[in-house]
Structure 1
C-alpha cells in the first residue's frame, strides 16, 4: 500500500478516532432542513441535488466515526475532515457500514463537500462554519499540498469520431447492399455521435433532446436544435445549436426507425409512454430523440448508456481508449481551436459561460499561437 503523503500540518481536533454515537438533531432543525430541500428540488438540477446528498452523506459518516457533531458542526470538525482527507492514500473504505472516500481527492471535490455542508447549515438557518477563516486556511493548505488542476477528459477529436462513424456507416452500407434490414442501433448510434459532435453538448444535454426542437434549414439541408436546459442555464432560457446536413440526414433515417419502435411497442410499453406524458418534467420515449430498448421497456437513453455506446463503438472501430461524456465536447473544442476559430465563438457554440474552459481545453494548441511563439517564428523568418 502506498504510504500517506506528508502534508503541511493542520491541527487535528476533537475526540480520538472511533465510532461515536450519532448526535440527535433537534426536530425543529430537521424540519427547517426538509422544508428547504423541498424548495431546492424545484430550483436545482438533479445532478446538483445528488452532489449535495453525496457531500452531506460523506461528511456525516466521517463525523460519526470521529466523534464530531454533523449538524450543527464546527469549524474545528471541518478542519479535521480536511486534514483527514489530505493525509490518506486514495481508497474507499467501509466504516460502520458506510462507504467513506478517504482521498486524496481533487481540490474541486473537497470544495464541493464543503459547499454541501454549507448548504445544509443555511437550510437549517444555522451559522455556516465553512465560512470560518481557519477553514479557509485549511483548504489553502490542502491545495498547496495537492494538485489543484483538474484532470481533463480524454479528447475525442473529429479524426477519431470519423473513424468510429466509418465503422457504423460500413455496417449500414453492407446491410443495404444485401437488401437486409439495417440495424436500428447502427442508425441510432450514427445519429447520436454526429449530433453530439455538432452540438458540442454535454452528455446530459444530448440525452434530453426532443424531436420537436429540431428545426430544418431548407436552403442547405442543415438544421438546428434547441438545448432546453443546461448546466449553465438552469432557468431553461434555451440555446440553439447547429446541425450539419450530414447529421440531419442521419437523424431522419433514425427517426423512421424510432417511430417504428414506438409503433411496435407492447401495450404495457405504450401505457408507460402515455404515463410519462402526464408527468410535468418527464421525457416520454416517443418525444426523446435517443432511446433505448431493454427489459425495463422503451426509455430515453441514459447518460450512462450514451457513454457506454460511445465506448463500445470506439472499440469496434479499433480505438482502444476510454472516453467520458465530456470527450466529444473537449475534442471538438480542440479541433475548432486548431482550425483557427475564435475562442469566444467556440465558447458560444458550446454553451460555456466564459472562455476559461475553452482556453483550458486548448491550452497546448494555443501555446503555438502565443505571443512568444509568434515572435520566435518572426525572428526565424528574418534570419
Structure 2
C-alpha cells in the first residue's frame, strides 16, 4: 500500500465511497458495460434504467462513473452533451415526485419517550440489563437526534470523547468532518438541557450505565447485554428507529426514516417562530432550498390562513 492511499481514502466519506463502488460495479458487472466508458455507452445505460431507477439514483451513478474515470486518468464521458440530454429526457418522460420521510412530531416524540421511560423502569425492576441498556440507548439516540436535527450518519459517528457537557446548560458535540464541512474545519453542534424530553439527561443516563468514556456513543448490544466496542452501522438506523416507534405504538412506523427526526425538529422550529436563517444556522444547512425541503408546513393547504381572510372579507 502506498503512503498516499490512507490520505486519498480519508478524503472521501465511507458511505460515498461504498455507494460509488456499488455504482461502478452495477455498470460494469450487472449491466455489462466496459471501462473506460464512452459517452454513448453511458447514455445507453441511462436509457436502460430510466424506468426502474430514480433520477437522483441515476445522477449518483453518473457521479460514480465520473469519479472512476478521473481517478484512472481517463476523460470523463458523463460530461458529454449526449449524456446530459438523455438525463434531461429521462426527467421529462419519467417524472417522479420526491419521496420525503414523514416528520416525527413533538407529540409523537413525547409518546415514544414516555414509553421508553416506562420500559427502562420496568427493566430495572426485573434486573434485565439488556433491555435497560437498549431502551436507554434508544432514548438518548431519539432525543439527541430530534433536538439537534442530526443526520443518521452523524448519530452513528458521534464519539464520546467529542462530547462535552456544560452543567445546567447543555452539551456540545464535535465532528471532525460533516457532510457540508467542505473545508474540513470541524463542526461543533450544541444541544440544550430541557425541563422535559431532555437530550442531555438521556445521553448521560446511557453512557454512564453503559460505561462509555471514549469511542462511538451509540453501539450495538448483544443478546447477553454486552455493549459492543463498535458503533451502530448506518444501515441499521432506519430499522432500529421503526422498531422503536412500533413498540411505542406510533401509527405506520414504516413511513419514518433516518431523516424523520431532522424533519420533525425543522417542522417544530418553523411552527414556533424560528426564521429560516436561524434554522439553517442551528441545523447546518448551507442553502434555503435544503432547509425548506425539510420543513413540513403547519398549515400545508393554507386552509386556516384562507379561512381567516374569508372571515375578514365577509365582515366588511
- Provide TM-score, normalisation by structure 2: 0.84
Distance (whole Å) between structure 2 residues aligned to residue 239 and residue 77 of structure 1: 44
Matched, 1:333 2:261: no
Counterpart contact for 2:133–2:209, Cα < 8 Å: yes
1:276 is matched with none
Deviation at 1:330, TM superposition (A): 1.3
Distance (whole Å) between structure 2 residues aligned to residue 45 and residue 366 of structure 1: 38
Structure of larger gyration radius: 1
2:157 is matched with 208
Within 5 Å, give how 1:80-119 maps onto structure 2.
80-86=44-50, 88=51, 103=52, 105-119=53-67
1:123 is matched with 71
Distance (whole Å) between structure 2 residues aligned to residue 190 and residue 221 of structure 1: 20
Deviation at 1:374, TM superposition (A): 5.9
Distance (whole Å) between structure 1 residues aligned to residue 4 and residue 41 of structure 2: 24
Within 5 Å, give how 1:120-269 maps onto structure 2.
120-175=68-123, 178=125, 180=127, 183-218=132-167, 220-233=168-181, 235-245=184-194, 246-259=198-211
Distance (whole Å) between structure 2 residues aligned to residue 315 and residue 138 of structure 1: 42
Distance 1:37 1:123, change over 3 A: farther
Tell me which of the two structures has the higher relative contact order, counting C-alpha pairs closer than 8 angstroms and 6 or more residues apart: 2
Distance (whole Å) between structure 2 residues aligned to residue 221 and residue 40 of structure 1: 40
Unaligned runs of 5+ in 1: 1-33, 89-102, 263-284
Counterpart contact for 2:66–2:76, Cα < 8 Å: yes
Q: Which moved more, 1:41-50 or 1:123-132?
A: 123-132
Unaligned runs of 5+ in 2: none
Count of residue correspondences:
302
Distance (whole Å) between structure 2 residues aligned to residue 194 and residue 37 of structure 1: 38
Distance 1:170 1:118, change over 3 A: same
The one-character-per-residue Cα deviations of 1:216-262 (angstroms, maximum 9, x if unpaired) are 333x3433322332211252521323233422112222122111xx6
Distance (whole Å) between structure 2 residues aligned to residue 365 and residue 190 of structure 1: 26
Distance (whole Å) between structure 2 residues aligned to residue 255 and residue 339 of structure 1: 31
Counterpart contact for 1:230–1:236, Cα < 8 Å: no
Within 5 Å, give how 1:68-79 maps onto structure 2.
70-79=34-43
